Amino acid sequence: MKTLIYLLAIISFQMCTQVKQPENNLKMDNNSSKNNPYYSRTDRTKLTVSNAEWRKILSPDLYAVARQADTERPFTGKYNEFDELGDYYCAVCGNHLFRSDSKFSSTCGWPSFFEADKEGVAYNRDSSHGMERTEVVCKRCDSHLGHIFNDGPPPTGTRYCMNSVSLEFVGDSEKK
Ligand SMILES: [Zn+2]
């Protein structure tokens, strides 16, 4: 009888841990600021953090795009077809990058903006993949965000072609 109770206890304990595990993973995915001591939506001080350190903090998908200039597949990003009112922040460090009213529907397959927060982004020349392009990076943490092109709509004529994974959206209704 004792053995039976013991076995039941083990089984129910295992069931508990099995149920709890996905919950924890979900929480981590939904909050990139968790376990990230550099994340701030108000501090704009320049960060100098090594890639070895970022690799420990960021999810593999975000690390590949933000720190290794990878590009997410078109039409797969969560903000490609998304038009809620709010602000977009750097998913790596929390720096403010875009306001939703500068987002426009583009057919390129990535979220596109015609204007960025001047304090949010910086630019680098990018000659990789046999193309001459201008890379857009976060001004605070130097993470890769995407590229800028001159085929955007008025009033600027520019198109910030961004990776969804590099962005974190906070809706106006969430800010209270
Ligand atoms: Zn950043």
Segment 146-172, tens digit of pLDDT: 999 999 999 999 999 999 999 999 999
Looking at the structure, do residues 20 and 75 belong to the same domain, yes or no?
no
Segment 69-102, tens digit of pLDDT: 999 999 999 999 999 999 999 999 999 999 999 9
Provide the CATH number for the domain around residue 117.
2.170.150.20
Please, what is the average pLDDT of the chain? 87
Looking at the structure, do residues 4 and 89 belong to the same domain, yes or no?
no
To 10 degrees, the CA torsion angle through 167, 173, 175, 176? Answer: -170
Per-residue pLDDT band at 175 (split at 50, 70, 90): confident
Looking at the structure, do residues 93 and 76 belong to the same domain, yes or no?
yes
Determine the distance separating the centroid of ligand 1 and the alpha carbon of 147, expressed in angstroms: 15
pLDDT score recorded for residue 19: 40
Determine the distance separating the centroid of ligand 1 and the alpha carbon of 122, expressed in angstroms: 11
Looking at the structure, do residues 149 and 109 belong to the same domain, yes or no?
yes
The model's pTM is 0.80
Determine the distance separating the centroid of ligand 1 and the alpha carbon of 94, expressed in angstroms: 6
Domain count, the chain: 2
Determine the distance separating the centroid of ligand 1 and the alpha carbon of 96, expressed in angstroms: 8
Order of strands, sheet of 96-99, starting from the edge strand that comes earlier in the sequence = 96-99, 86-90, 167-171
Structural domain range at position 1: 1-30
Looking at the structure, do residues 26 and 46 belong to the same domain, yes or no?
no
Looking at the structure, do residues 78 and 15 belong to the same domain, yes or no?
no
Looking at the structure, do residues 161 and 126 belong to the same domain, yes or no?
yes
DSSP label at 58? S
Q: What span, in angstroms and rounded, lies between the C-alpha atoms of 5 and 124?
A: 65
Looking at the structure, do residues 83 and 146 belong to the same domain, yes or no?
yes
Give the residue, 33 or 125, on which the prediction is more confident: 125
Looking at the structure, do residues 4 and 79 belong to the same domain, yes or no?
no
Looking at the structure, do residues 25 and 52 belong to the same domain, yes or no?
no
Looking at the structure, do residues 124 and 145 belong to the same domain, yes or no?
yes
Q: What span, in angstroms and rounded, lies between the C-alpha atoms of 168 and 32?
A: 9
> What kind and span of H or E run contains 15?
helix 2-30
Looking at the structure, do residues 86 and 4 belong to the same domain, yes or no?
no
Determine the distance separating the centroid of ligand 1 and the alpha carbon of 1, expressed in angstroms: 59
Residues with catalytic roles: 161
